[in-house]
Amino acid sequence: MANPSETSNEMLRLAFEASPAAMFMVDQDGRIELVNAQCEGTFGYARGEMIGMSVETLAPAGLRSRHRHLRADFAANPSKRLMGVGRDLRAVRRDGSEFPVEIGLTPVATPLGPRVVAFAVDITARLLVEESLRNSLAELERANESLSRFAYVASHDIQEPLRKISAFADILNTAMAEGDAEESRYAAEVMAASAQHARHIVADVLALARSLNSAYALETFALRETIRTVLDSLSQTILEERADVAVIGEDFSLQGDRSQATQMVQNLVSNALKYHKPGTPPRVRIVLKGGEGEHSLAIEDEGIGFAATHRDEIFEPFRRLNDRGDFPGTGIGLAICKTIASRHGWRLSATSTPTVGSTFEIVFPKAFSGQNESARKRL
Protein backbone atom coordinates (compact mmCIF):
# COMPACT_ATOMS: atom_id res chain seq x y z
CA MET A 1 0.00 0.00 0.00
CA ALA A 2 1.37 3.42 -0.96
CA ASN A 3 2.60 5.72 1.76
CA PRO A 4 0.12 8.67 2.02
CA SER A 5 3.03 11.10 2.34
CA GLU A 6 4.69 9.75 -0.77
CA THR A 7 1.40 9.87 -2.66
CA SER A 8 0.87 13.46 -1.61
CA ASN A 9 4.38 14.42 -2.69
CA GLU A 10 3.89 12.71 -6.04
CA MET A 11 0.64 14.59 -6.60
CA LEU A 12 2.35 17.88 -5.78
CA ARG A 13 5.19 17.03 -8.16
CA LEU A 14 2.75 16.23 -10.96
CA ALA A 15 0.82 19.45 -10.36
CA PHE A 16 4.07 21.45 -10.33
CA GLU A 17 5.19 19.80 -13.56
CA ALA A 18 1.84 20.17 -15.34
CA SER A 19 1.38 23.87 -14.54
CA PRO A 20 0.80 26.03 -17.66
CA ALA A 21 2.87 28.75 -15.95
CA ALA A 22 6.63 28.60 -15.62
CA MET A 23 7.32 27.51 -12.02
CA PHE A 24 10.60 27.31 -10.16
CA MET A 25 11.84 27.03 -6.59
CA VAL A 26 14.52 29.37 -5.25
CA ASP A 27 16.70 28.86 -2.16
CA GLN A 28 17.75 31.45 0.42
CA ASP A 29 20.73 32.51 -1.69
CA GLY A 30 18.60 33.16 -4.76
CA ARG A 31 19.68 29.97 -6.56
CA ILE A 32 17.16 28.04 -8.61
CA GLU A 33 16.75 24.49 -7.26
CA LEU A 34 13.75 23.16 -9.14
CA VAL A 35 12.01 24.03 -12.41
CA ASN A 36 9.05 22.66 -14.35
CA ALA A 37 8.74 21.92 -18.07
CA GLN A 38 7.09 25.25 -18.89
CA CYS A 39 10.26 27.12 -17.86
CA GLU A 40 11.98 25.84 -20.99
CA GLY A 41 9.34 27.36 -23.26
CA THR A 42 9.07 30.60 -21.31
CA PHE A 43 12.74 31.38 -20.72
CA GLY A 44 14.41 29.39 -23.49
CA TYR A 45 16.78 27.48 -21.19
CA ALA A 46 17.11 23.71 -21.05
CA ARG A 47 15.88 22.52 -17.68
CA GLY A 48 19.35 21.47 -16.53
CA GLU A 49 20.80 24.91 -17.36
CA MET A 50 18.52 26.65 -14.88
CA ILE A 51 19.40 24.45 -11.88
CA GLY A 52 21.87 26.39 -9.76
CA MET A 53 21.39 29.60 -11.76
CA SER A 54 20.92 32.87 -9.90
CA VAL A 55 17.30 33.98 -10.20
CA GLU A 56 18.60 37.47 -11.02
CA THR A 57 19.67 36.08 -14.41
CA LEU A 58 16.00 36.11 -15.38
CA ALA A 59 15.71 39.86 -14.66
CA PRO A 60 16.83 42.64 -17.06
CA ALA A 61 20.50 43.51 -16.52
CA GLY A 62 19.76 47.03 -15.29
CA LEU A 63 17.38 45.76 -12.60
CA ARG A 64 19.38 42.88 -11.12
CA SER A 65 20.94 44.88 -8.30
CA ARG A 66 17.51 46.20 -7.29
CA HIS A 67 16.06 42.71 -7.55
CA ARG A 68 18.58 41.45 -4.96
CA HIS A 69 17.34 44.09 -2.52
CA LEU A 70 13.71 43.19 -3.23
CA ARG A 71 14.52 39.52 -2.65
CA ALA A 72 16.14 40.38 0.69
CA ASP A 73 13.06 42.40 1.70
CA PHE A 74 10.84 39.46 0.77
CA ALA A 75 12.95 37.07 2.84
CA ALA A 76 12.59 39.39 5.85
CA ASN A 77 8.80 39.53 5.45
CA PRO A 78 7.69 36.49 3.41
CA SER A 79 4.08 36.35 2.21
CA LYS A 80 2.12 35.34 -0.87
CA ARG A 81 2.45 38.06 -3.47
CA LEU A 82 1.30 38.70 -7.03
CA MET A 83 3.63 41.04 -8.92
CA GLY A 84 3.43 42.73 -12.28
CA VAL A 85 -0.31 43.42 -12.36
CA GLY A 86 -0.72 46.95 -13.75
CA ARG A 87 3.06 47.37 -13.87
CA ASP A 88 5.66 47.05 -16.58
CA LEU A 89 7.45 44.05 -15.09
CA ARG A 90 9.80 42.30 -17.50
CA ALA A 91 11.89 39.13 -17.62
CA VAL A 92 14.75 38.03 -19.86
CA ARG A 93 15.02 34.95 -22.04
CA ARG A 94 18.19 32.99 -22.70
CA ASP A 95 18.72 34.88 -26.00
CA GLY A 96 18.61 38.23 -24.17
CA SER A 97 15.16 39.27 -25.38
CA GLU A 98 12.83 40.80 -22.81
CA PHE A 99 9.11 40.10 -22.37
CA PRO A 100 6.37 41.33 -20.02
CA VAL A 101 5.46 39.02 -17.15
CA GLU A 102 3.30 38.62 -14.11
CA ILE A 103 4.99 36.82 -11.24
CA GLY A 104 3.59 35.14 -8.15
CA LEU A 105 5.68 34.39 -5.08
CA THR A 106 4.82 31.87 -2.35
CA PRO A 107 7.11 31.21 0.65
CA VAL A 108 7.29 27.55 1.68
CA ALA A 109 8.96 25.75 4.57
CA THR A 110 10.98 22.69 3.58
CA PRO A 111 13.22 20.27 5.51
CA LEU A 112 16.17 22.14 3.96
CA GLY A 113 14.96 25.52 5.15
CA PRO A 114 12.75 28.29 3.76
CA ARG A 115 12.25 28.40 0.01
CA VAL A 116 10.25 30.50 -2.45
CA VAL A 117 8.11 28.99 -5.17
CA ALA A 118 7.64 31.42 -8.02
CA PHE A 119 5.48 31.27 -11.12
CA ALA A 120 5.96 33.49 -14.18
CA VAL A 121 3.39 34.06 -16.92
CA ASP A 122 4.36 35.62 -20.26
CA ILE A 123 1.62 38.19 -20.85
CA THR A 124 2.80 39.37 -24.28
CA ALA A 125 -0.27 37.98 -26.07
CA ARG A 126 -2.64 39.47 -23.52
CA LEU A 127 -1.06 42.92 -23.79
CA LEU A 128 -1.32 42.74 -27.60
CA VAL A 129 -5.02 41.92 -27.30
CA GLU A 130 -5.53 44.77 -24.84
CA GLU A 131 -3.68 47.17 -27.15
CA SER A 132 -5.77 46.00 -30.08
CA LEU A 133 -8.94 46.58 -28.08
CA ARG A 134 -7.79 50.06 -27.08
CA ASN A 135 -6.96 50.87 -30.69
CA SER A 136 -10.31 49.53 -31.86
CA LEU A 137 -12.13 51.60 -29.25
CA ALA A 138 -10.19 54.72 -30.23
CA GLU A 139 -10.97 54.07 -33.90
CA LEU A 140 -14.65 53.60 -33.09
CA GLU A 141 -14.73 56.87 -31.16
CA ARG A 142 -13.02 58.68 -34.04
CA ALA A 143 -15.37 57.05 -36.53
CA ASN A 144 -18.44 58.11 -34.53
CA GLU A 145 -17.14 61.65 -34.27
CA SER A 146 -16.33 61.74 -37.99
CA LEU A 147 -19.71 60.24 -38.87
CA SER A 148 -21.54 62.89 -36.87
CA ARG A 149 -19.54 65.70 -38.47
CA PHE A 150 -19.84 64.06 -41.88
CA ALA A 151 -23.64 63.73 -41.65
CA TYR A 152 -24.00 67.42 -40.79
CA VAL A 153 -21.68 68.67 -43.52
CA ALA A 154 -22.99 66.23 -46.15
CA SER A 155 -26.59 67.25 -45.54
CA HIS A 156 -25.59 70.91 -45.78
CA ASP A 157 -23.59 70.47 -48.99
CA ILE A 158 -26.15 68.37 -50.79
CA GLN A 159 -28.95 70.77 -49.84
CA GLU A 160 -27.19 73.62 -51.64
CA PRO A 161 -27.68 72.28 -55.20
CA LEU A 162 -31.15 71.01 -54.28
CA ARG A 163 -32.18 74.50 -53.12
CA LYS A 164 -30.89 75.93 -56.38
CA ILE A 165 -32.84 73.39 -58.42
CA SER A 166 -36.00 74.19 -56.47
CA ALA A 167 -35.54 77.96 -56.72
CA PHE A 168 -34.71 77.97 -60.44
CA ALA A 169 -37.57 75.58 -61.19
CA ASP A 170 -39.88 78.36 -60.03
CA ILE A 171 -37.93 80.86 -62.14
CA LEU A 172 -38.15 78.54 -65.13
CA ASN A 173 -41.92 78.16 -64.73
CA THR A 174 -42.37 81.94 -64.53
CA ALA A 175 -40.09 82.55 -67.53
CA MET A 176 -41.89 79.94 -69.62
CA ALA A 177 -45.27 81.42 -68.69
CA GLU A 178 -44.03 84.84 -69.77
CA GLY A 179 -42.39 83.47 -72.91
CA ASP A 180 -38.95 84.66 -71.83
CA ALA A 181 -36.70 82.24 -73.75
CA GLU A 182 -33.41 83.70 -72.49
CA GLU A 183 -34.44 83.52 -68.83
CA SER A 184 -35.79 80.01 -69.36
CA ARG A 185 -32.50 78.89 -70.89
CA TYR A 186 -30.50 80.44 -68.06
CA ALA A 187 -32.68 78.77 -65.39
CA ALA A 188 -32.39 75.42 -67.16
CA GLU A 189 -28.59 75.73 -67.30
CA VAL A 190 -28.37 76.51 -63.58
CA MET A 191 -30.64 73.57 -62.75
CA ALA A 192 -28.56 71.23 -64.93
CA ALA A 193 -25.29 72.42 -63.33
CA SER A 194 -26.78 72.05 -59.83
CA ALA A 195 -28.02 68.56 -60.60
CA GLN A 196 -24.57 67.63 -61.91
CA HIS A 197 -22.99 69.00 -58.74
CA ALA A 198 -25.41 67.00 -56.59
CA ARG A 199 -24.58 63.92 -58.65
CA HIS A 200 -20.86 64.45 -58.02
CA ILE A 201 -21.50 64.79 -54.29
CA VAL A 202 -23.47 61.55 -54.17
CA ALA A 203 -20.81 59.74 -56.23
CA ASP A 204 -18.05 60.95 -53.93
CA VAL A 205 -20.04 60.03 -50.82
CA LEU A 206 -20.47 56.52 -52.23
CA ALA A 207 -16.72 56.38 -52.99
CA LEU A 208 -15.96 57.41 -49.41
CA ALA A 209 -18.36 54.77 -48.09
CA ARG A 210 -16.66 52.11 -50.22
CA SER A 211 -13.24 53.15 -48.92
CA LEU A 212 -14.57 52.82 -45.36
CA ASN A 213 -16.49 49.58 -45.63
CA SER A 214 -15.59 47.52 -48.68
CA ALA A 215 -13.55 44.34 -48.39
CA TYR A 216 -10.04 44.72 -49.73
CA ALA A 217 -8.43 42.31 -52.19
CA LEU A 218 -4.89 41.97 -50.87
CA GLU A 219 -2.02 41.42 -53.28
CA THR A 220 1.60 42.40 -53.71
CA PHE A 221 2.29 45.00 -56.40
CA ALA A 222 5.00 47.38 -57.54
CA LEU A 223 4.34 51.03 -56.70
CA ARG A 224 5.81 52.37 -59.95
CA GLU A 225 3.30 50.30 -61.89
CA THR A 226 0.52 51.95 -59.88
CA ILE A 227 1.97 55.39 -60.58
CA ARG A 228 2.19 54.59 -64.28
CA THR A 229 -1.50 53.62 -64.27
CA VAL A 230 -2.38 56.90 -62.55
CA LEU A 231 -0.39 59.02 -65.00
CA ASP A 232 -1.97 57.23 -67.96
CA SER A 233 -5.41 57.97 -66.51
CA LEU A 234 -4.51 61.65 -66.01
CA SER A 235 -2.64 62.04 -69.31
CA GLN A 236 -5.27 64.33 -70.88
CA THR A 237 -5.30 66.63 -67.84
CA ILE A 238 -1.48 66.69 -67.82
CA LEU A 239 -1.52 67.60 -71.53
CA GLU A 240 -4.17 70.29 -71.17
CA GLU A 241 -2.45 71.88 -68.18
CA ARG A 242 1.00 71.59 -69.81
CA ALA A 243 2.10 70.04 -66.52
CA ASP A 244 5.67 69.01 -65.74
CA VAL A 245 5.38 65.66 -63.94
CA ALA A 246 8.40 63.54 -62.97
CA VAL A 247 8.74 60.26 -61.09
CA ILE A 248 11.90 60.00 -58.98
CA GLY A 249 13.40 57.19 -56.91
CA GLU A 250 13.70 53.42 -56.86
CA ASP A 251 10.66 51.18 -57.12
CA PHE A 252 9.45 49.04 -54.22
CA SER A 253 6.57 46.65 -53.58
CA LEU A 254 3.52 46.99 -51.36
CA GLN A 255 0.93 44.60 -50.06
CA GLY A 256 -2.60 45.93 -50.14
CA ASP A 257 -5.60 46.54 -52.34
CA ARG A 258 -4.20 47.64 -55.69
CA SER A 259 -7.32 49.48 -56.88
CA GLN A 260 -7.67 51.41 -53.60
CA ALA A 261 -3.97 52.31 -53.61
CA THR A 262 -4.35 53.49 -57.21
CA GLN A 263 -7.30 55.67 -56.24
CA MET A 264 -5.34 57.16 -53.34
CA VAL A 265 -2.35 58.05 -55.51
CA GLN A 266 -4.61 59.38 -58.29
CA ASN A 267 -6.49 61.66 -55.90
CA LEU A 268 -3.21 63.09 -54.58
CA VAL A 269 -1.71 63.64 -58.03
CA SER A 270 -5.01 65.16 -59.27
CA ASN A 271 -4.88 67.61 -56.35
CA ALA A 272 -1.31 68.56 -57.20
CA LEU A 273 -2.34 69.23 -60.81
CA LYS A 274 -5.47 71.16 -59.81
CA TYR A 275 -4.15 73.57 -57.19
CA HIS A 276 -1.49 75.29 -59.27
CA LYS A 277 -0.89 79.03 -59.44
CA PRO A 278 -2.96 80.86 -62.07
CA GLY A 279 -1.04 81.27 -65.30
CA THR A 280 1.68 78.85 -64.19
CA PRO A 281 1.69 75.23 -65.44
CA PRO A 282 1.71 72.65 -62.63
CA ARG A 283 5.06 71.17 -61.62
CA VAL A 284 4.72 67.86 -59.77
CA ARG A 285 7.36 65.52 -58.41
CA ILE A 286 6.42 61.96 -57.38
CA VAL A 287 9.22 60.76 -55.12
CA LEU A 288 9.75 57.17 -54.00
CA LYS A 289 12.06 56.64 -51.04
CA GLY A 290 13.28 53.30 -49.70
CA GLY A 291 14.48 52.57 -46.19
CA GLU A 292 15.42 49.70 -43.91
CA GLY A 293 12.33 49.94 -41.74
CA GLU A 294 9.84 51.70 -43.99
CA HIS A 295 9.33 53.15 -47.46
CA SER A 296 7.53 56.33 -48.48
CA LEU A 297 5.90 58.07 -51.41
CA ALA A 298 5.77 61.86 -51.61
CA ILE A 299 3.67 63.96 -54.02
CA GLU A 300 5.34 67.38 -54.21
CA ASP A 301 3.95 70.40 -56.05
CA GLU A 302 4.72 74.09 -56.47
CA GLY A 303 1.12 75.20 -56.27
CA ILE A 304 -0.88 77.63 -54.17
CA GLY A 305 -0.25 75.75 -50.91
CA PHE A 306 -2.15 76.23 -47.67
CA ALA A 307 -1.51 77.40 -44.11
CA ALA A 308 0.05 74.88 -41.72
CA THR A 309 -2.95 75.23 -39.40
CA HIS A 310 -5.08 73.42 -42.01
CA ARG A 311 -2.83 70.35 -42.44
CA ASP A 312 -5.20 68.06 -40.49
CA GLU A 313 -8.60 69.45 -41.40
CA ILE A 314 -7.99 69.15 -45.15
CA PHE A 315 -8.53 65.39 -44.72
CA GLU A 316 -12.05 65.91 -43.37
CA PRO A 317 -14.94 65.18 -45.76
CA PHE A 318 -16.28 68.24 -47.61
CA ARG A 319 -13.54 70.45 -46.14
CA ARG A 320 -12.54 73.01 -48.75
CA LEU A 321 -10.02 75.83 -48.35
CA ASN A 322 -10.81 77.51 -51.68
CA ASP A 323 -13.91 78.71 -53.49
CA ARG A 324 -15.56 76.07 -55.68
CA GLY A 325 -15.65 78.57 -58.52
CA ASP A 326 -11.85 78.74 -58.52
CA PHE A 327 -11.18 75.04 -57.96
CA PRO A 328 -14.09 72.66 -58.66
CA GLY A 329 -14.67 69.59 -56.52
CA THR A 330 -16.62 68.28 -53.54
CA GLY A 331 -13.83 68.18 -50.94
CA ILE A 332 -14.02 64.41 -50.40
CA GLY A 333 -10.94 63.27 -52.34
CA LEU A 334 -8.45 63.72 -49.51
CA ALA A 335 -10.83 62.12 -47.00
CA ILE A 336 -10.90 59.04 -49.23
CA CYS A 337 -7.08 59.04 -49.34
CA LYS A 338 -6.86 59.24 -45.56
CA THR A 339 -9.34 56.38 -45.13
CA ILE A 340 -7.51 54.12 -47.58
CA ALA A 341 -4.17 54.82 -45.92
CA SER A 342 -5.50 54.27 -42.40
CA ARG A 343 -7.16 50.97 -43.24
CA HIS A 344 -3.89 49.66 -44.67
CA GLY A 345 -1.83 50.84 -41.70
CA TRP A 346 -0.09 53.48 -43.84
CA ARG A 347 0.50 57.04 -42.60
CA LEU A 348 -0.65 59.96 -44.77
CA SER A 349 0.36 63.50 -43.84
CA ALA A 350 0.64 66.89 -45.50
CA THR A 351 2.98 69.86 -45.21
CA SER A 352 2.60 73.13 -47.08
CA THR A 353 3.55 76.77 -47.37
CA PRO A 354 1.15 79.27 -48.98
CA THR A 355 2.23 80.30 -52.52
CA VAL A 356 5.22 77.91 -52.34
CA GLY A 357 3.62 74.47 -52.62
CA SER A 358 2.56 71.32 -50.81
CA THR A 359 3.88 67.84 -50.10
CA PHE A 360 1.66 64.87 -49.35
CA GLU A 361 3.62 61.93 -47.98
CA ILE A 362 2.52 58.33 -47.45
CA VAL A 363 4.74 56.22 -45.19
CA PHE A 364 4.54 52.45 -45.58
CA PRO A 365 5.75 50.75 -42.35
CA LYS A 366 7.56 47.40 -42.52
CA ALA A 367 9.06 47.44 -45.97
CA PHE A 368 7.46 45.15 -48.53
CA SER A 369 4.57 44.26 -46.23
CA GLY A 370 2.60 47.48 -46.37
CA GLN A 371 0.68 46.78 -43.19
CA ASN A 372 0.92 45.55 -39.63
CA GLU A 373 -1.22 42.81 -38.13
CA SER A 374 -3.79 45.17 -36.63
CA ALA A 375 -4.20 46.86 -40.01
CA ARG A 376 -4.61 43.47 -41.66
CA LYS A 377 -7.56 42.76 -39.34
CA ARG A 378 -9.19 46.07 -40.29
CA LEU A 379 -9.06 45.12 -43.96
| Bridge partner list, 360 | 299, 350
Whether residue 372 is predicted with pLDDT greater than 50 in this model: the reply is: no
**Mean pLDDT of the region 49-59:** 92
DSSP-derived 3-state class of residue 179: coil
Whether residue 376 is predicted with pLDDT greater than 60 in this model: the reply is: no
Distance CA 193, CA 186 (A): 11
Q: pLDDT for 299-308, tens place per residue? A: 999 988 888 8
Q: pLDDT for 245-255, tens place per residue? A: 999 999 999 98
CA gyration radius, the chain: 33
CA atoms within 13 A on the CB side of 106: 10
**Mean pLDDT of the region 104-108:** 90
User: What pTM, to 2 d.p., does this model score?
Assistant: 0.51
Whether residue 6 is predicted with pLDDT greater than 70 in this model: the reply is: no
Identical fold for domains 128-213 and 216-379, yes or no, is: no
Whether residue 348 is predicted with pLDDT greater than 80 in this model: the reply is: yes
Q: pLDDT for 147-179, tens place per residue? A: 665 665 566 667 777 888 888 888 989 989 888
Whether residue 18 is predicted with pLDDT greater than 80 in this model: the reply is: no
Contacts of 379 (CB under 8 A, 6+ apart): 215, 216, 218, 256, 257, 343, 344, 371
Whether residue 369 is predicted with pLDDT greater than 60 in this model: the reply is: no
Percent of the chain with pLDDT over 70: 81
Of the listed ranges 13-22, 43-52, 167-176, the one predicted with least confidence: 13-22
**Mean pLDDT of the region 181-187:** 90
H helices of 179-257, in order, are 181-213, 223-233, 235-241
Spans of all domains in the chain: 4-122, 128-213, 216-379
pLDDT attached to residue 149: 59
Q: pLDDT for 138-149, tens place per residue? A: 777 766 666 665
Of the listed ranges 7-11, 13-17, 352-356, 369-373, the one predicted with least confidence: 369-373
Closest CA to 260 of 226, 222, 300, 224: 226
CATH of domain 128-213: 1.10.287.130
| Bridge partner list, 81 | 105
The CA-atom distances, in angstroms, between 310 and each of 315, 316, 351, 370 are 9, 10, 9, 27
Domain 216-379 - what CATH class? alpha beta
pLDDT band with cut points at 50, 70 and 90 for residue 377: very low
The CA-atom distances, in angstroms, between 203 and each of 184, 207, 253, 274 are 28, 6, 30, 19
Domain 4-122 - what CATH class? alpha beta
